[in-house]
Structure 1
Amino acid sequence: MALGDRKLFTYIYDFGDNWQHRVKVEKILPPDPDLRSPICLAGRNACPPEDVGGGPGYIEFLEAIADPSHEDHEQLLEWCGGSFDPNAFDLAAVNERLAEFEF
């Protein structure tokens, strides 16, 4: 995709839940002939669990897992694998996934 002068764009993931991601391009480097897949240099926050229900569902999910007295607390923790840190970002895991997209 040629960005031209555009440095900010919106990526929509899962049209049903309408997750909108604002992507800011900070720098475009010359092509590296040794690079065979895209790489991520930095990021913030964890991806919400699949099928959590879009923005409103994600907010409800975070409230429930943060409150041990919430009626859905245990069920939602089990559903998401036992724990969830919304502030986590695993750069190595992101780049491992991106390595699947060779060009």
Structure 2
Amino acid sequence: MARAAVQKQTVDPHVLSLKVTLRHIRPPIWRRIVVPRDMTLADLHRAIQVVMGWEDAHLHAFTVGGRQYSDPQMGLEDAANEARVTLDSLARSGMTRFTYTYDFGDDWEHDILIEKRPPATTANAYPICVAGKRNCPPEDCGGIWGYEELLAALADRDNPEHAERLEWLGEAFDPEDFSVASADVVLGAAFGRPTPPATG
């Protein structure tokens, strides 16, 4: 009787594991992504947007060791070019933590941790999303405080803002809703990652 082939999980030395956590929200909203070591901060920006669920509609910047990096086309004064910095160069310099800020109005700050050891996977193309918890806040909801007010209004039908907030959202919003598999599919599409063949 034939036995189904089982893909062996391995740790790829050419990748890094990053944990991206949105600051100041409890319970935490976070994602774990495994990325190529030669990924630039510019591409990391794209990956974070996808797996967090942002719409890439606002300015952004990384802060690494006190220095800011962003897209030169955004015109941020004193910000270095994010496309010229690789994650490998940061890891080799001993950097383990840095931050990413999206939307300087709502001021969504993300902590990025370069983890000590990437998880074993069966993947042969990257980046991939391997873990995460909780839905991303809606764009333009007013930052941390606005998001807390939004959740309070949605949870209480007697809240005078309940109907208005539902209308503003245009759809149901579940703060706990997050699918690793769905995030990974969108991430793969964004980076042109080959789709694995169907099994069964």
TM-score (norm 1): 0.80
Match of 1:102 among 184, 192, 195: 192
Find the aligned partners of 1:93 and 1:33 in 2 and give their Cα distance: 16
**For this pair of structures, how many residues does the alignment match?**
100
**Does 1:7 pair with 2:76?**
no
Within a 5 Å distance, the mapping from 1:46-57 to structure 2 comes to 46-57=135-146
Aligned alpha-carbon RMSD (Å): 2.3
Percent of aligned positions that are identical: 43
The Cα shift of 1:33 comes to 9.3
Stretch deviating more after TM superposition (2-11 or 66-75) = 2-11
Structure with the greater relative contact order (CA < 8 A, sep ≥ 6): 1 or 2?
Answer: 1
The list of structure 1 runs, each at least 4 consecutive aligned residues, that deviate by more than 3 angstroms after superposition, is: none
Specify the structure having the higher radius of gyration (Cα): 2
- Greater strand proportion: 2
Cα-to-partner distance string for 1:44-102 (whole Å, 9 max, x where unaligned)? 11110111111111111111101111111012123223321212211122112211123
Alignment of 1:23-102 (within 5 A): 23-26=112-115, 27-28=117-118, 34-35=124-125, 37-99=126-188, 100-102=190-192
Structure 1: tracts of 5 or more residues without a match: none
CA distance in 2, matches of 1:13, 1:97: 20
After TM superposition, the score normalised by the length of structure 2 is 0.44
